[in-house]
Amino acid sequence: MDRNIVAFRLGLDDVAALRFGISPGHELAAAIRLLQTAQSRPLHWGWLRSARRDLPEEAFAVLALLIAPQGYFPDFLTGPPSPDRTPDDELETLRSTPPDVVAHQLRKVLLLAEGPRYRAVERMAEHPALALGRIAEAWSALWDALVEPHWKQVRRLLLTDITRRSGTMAELGAGAMVRGLHERVSWRPGTVQVRMNAWQEEVDCHGQGLLLVPSVLSSPWCSVLTEAPVQPTLFYPVLDLSPEWHRSGLVGDGEALRRLLGTGRAAVLSILETAHNTTDVARLCHLAPSTAVHHLTVLRDAGLVTSARRGAAVEHHRTPLGDSLVLTARDGG
């Protein structure tokens, strides 16, 4: 195997079991890393300005001991990703971690720690139940300050990405979808390969499949989880992330967007901050159903809207590119 490659070996059952999830805990861990690596992450400079202003310093000091700018951090800080995973789910899972698991994973942090950080984490590993209480309190405080104000927007970006990737897989196959995840991710028949900075491993997915988890706050990097009992997991950046991703809302008076797209399409794009089916779009925008379908088709062809079937209905919502257009028009108009 090539150096610095993590290779996920997929059997036929694994290819069929490729699935997507979201991870609030991973987004928080990425936020903590961002605060330590700000200069290399221009997509997030706008978010960083508000994050630094509202940062709970004591809570940050606790989790920064465990989440360095790169490398391993304890798996118990993030629960199993799923499409409907919530922050409350994450915190409940974190608080229920057995003390022996906490101690084991804290000792893994020690392998790459030194100096004051080593001594602080070592003390935590010696008293894992007490440490877990401090860690959970810090997790909750940092979530409320750093991610919760933007979680609605972040979650929509994540679900939009999943919809688009799922569409690619349905239309062009798993290989085409995987190849589009990240420049460091490649597909060979039966294998997903991820180029790492300083790590190589072969992972037999053993019928578990591979879990694919988009991320906003870790963009533009990707990362992996490979150690049992965690399901093999690949984290990758969402598509088309704008530097204005942290700002949400509708266009001010809408005039700039109406001049660009026309009144009907501007109205459709504006209401798709949240997902709506075709009937709702027509009703909310006071359009005939056939006119709503036409506008949605044009917006989808332009990459501004994505659509996915949900039971008998088709739901539509804005893509990151659509978000950027709405926000730019609001600011400029």
Say what the pLDDT of residue 37 is.
Answer: 84
CA distance 62 to 330: 39
Report in angstroms the alpha-carbon separations of 146 from 58, 90, 110, 310: 14, 15, 26, 32
DSSP state of 157: H
Task: Per-residue pLDDT tens, the chain, 333 aa: give them.
Answer: 567 899 999 887 777 778 999 999 999 999 999 999 877 788 888 888 889 988 999 999 999 999 998 888 999 999 889 888 899 999 999 999 999 999 999 999 999 899 999 999 999 999 999 999 999 999 999 999 999 999 988 888 888 888 888 888 888 888 899 999 999 999 988 899 999 887 888 988 877 889 999 999 998 889 998 887 788 999 999 987 877 777 654 334 456 777 788 888 988 988 887 788 999 898 888 889 999 999 999 999 888 899 888 778 888 988 878 877 777 665 554
* Full-model pTM: 0.76
Q: Is the dihedral of CA 270, 218, 73, 232 positive or negative?
A: positive
